[in-house]
Amino acid sequence: MKKSQLALCFVLVLSLCLSVFPSFTASAEESFMSISLRIEGINGNLYYDTVEIPYNGSLNLKDAILYVDSKDESLAVTGADTDYITDINGESAASFGGWDGWLFSINGVNASSAMSGCLLNENDKVVFYYGDPYGVGMQFPSVEVKNGKLIFTSEDTVYDENFNPSVKINPVVSATVSLNGKDFTTDQNGEISLDSVDFKDGANALQISKFADNGCPAVLRFAPDFTVELKSDSSETTEAPDSSKAPDESSEAQTETPETGDRGIVLFALLALISILALSLLNRKNEA
């Protein structure tokens, strides 16, 4: 076979490779991840929505919040690009002169690393909240319905004299609870008693709030659409969904990410290798 024929054969094989390659690199194109994003400010909810965020390979929380901030005019986030949020919608860290500021949790687990170190998964629940857990304290309420009462408790991390942490379940005392728009105050046991006129059978809108003496939030509010199931003719104990907790998953846990174009690259290399081998065999046959 003449050299010109060999060159033409190589071009044809290479063209075949290039025509096949794009179909496999398509998987490397941008994917979208759906997460729930809630932002609880000092006096109320600032943002609550399910958002679709584009990503390639993996998505961390820093990139996610930067994307939402760039696309939603209702949000103004300062500091996300430096991995430390100092202000959201004009509510700035250290507004109360202490260690108060913006914190976050993923699936109910408080962060143990910076936003850039927290990789997200599909349907993760992200909550940013303003508080001072190391100063005035911060509780994360859950609610239980029992014997005509709503009982509010919080799993609080406490430290002994050697700074060893442990978790203790404490009542949420002196909190304001709004049930269908009517306000109550929890007692020393974290309870409020219900009368049938205060609720309806089925789902009832429920909210909770509490502030430290300096005005800093002392509990994490429930989501704006949070409800509790109540029945006037039942004294059974039921556990209502937790406001801030979710399955106990690490904020850095990962599931398999969508395939990228790596497989296409491998295929391209294999096809190129096959073309070279084919040309080599044809050349040897021609010389023989």
Q: Which residue has the higher pLDDT, 24 or 109?
A: 109
Edge to edge, the sheet with strand 109-110 lists 45-55, 31-40, 125-131, 101-106, 109-110
CATH of the domain at 235: 2.60.40
Q: What is the pLDDT of residues 118-139, one digit of tens each?
A: 999 999 999 999 999 989 999 9
In this prediction, residue 197 carries a pLDDT of 86
**Does 93 score more than 50 pLDDT?**
yes
Range(s) of the domain holding residue 196:
141-239
Question: Is 230 found in the same domain as 255?
Answer: no
Smallest CA-to-CA distance from 138 within 119, 120, 158 is with 158
- Which helix (H) or strand (E) segment holds residue 201: the answer is none
Cβ contacts of 229 within 8 Å, gap of 6 or more:
145, 202, 203, 204, 238, 240
Q: Are 283 and 36 in contact (CB under 8 A)?
A: no
Contact 240, 229 (CB under 8 A): yes
Question: Which percentage of the chain shows pLDDT scores above 90?
Answer: 63
pLDDT given for residue 5 in this prediction? 52
How many domains are there within the chain? 2
What is the distance between the alpha carbons of residues 58 and 120, in angstroms, rounded to a whole number? 8
Residue 197 lies in a domain: yes
Q: What secondary structure letter does DSSP report for 258?
A: P
pLDDT band at 164 (very low <50, low <70, confident <90, very high): confident
pLDDT in tens, 252-288: 333 333 344 444 444 555 555 565 665 565 566 555 5
Q: Region 107-120: what's the mean pLDDT?
A: 93
Residues 37, 126 contacting (CB under 8 angstroms): yes
Q: What is the pLDDT of residues 15-67, one digit of tens each?
A: 545 454 444 444 456 799 999 999 999 999 999 999 999 999 999 999 999 99
Whole-prediction pTM: 0.73
Cα R_g (the chain), whole angstroms: 28
What is the token pair recorded at 71? 């696309």
Q: What is the CATH number of the domain that holds 264?
A: 2.170.130.30
Residues 6 or more apart from 10 whose CB is under 8 A from it?
Answer: 275, 279
Query: Which tokens hold the place of 123?
Result: 């349907």
Both 130 and 264 in a single domain? yes
The answer to whether residue 145 sits within a structural domain is yes
The DSSP 8-state label assigned to residue 43 in this structure reads S
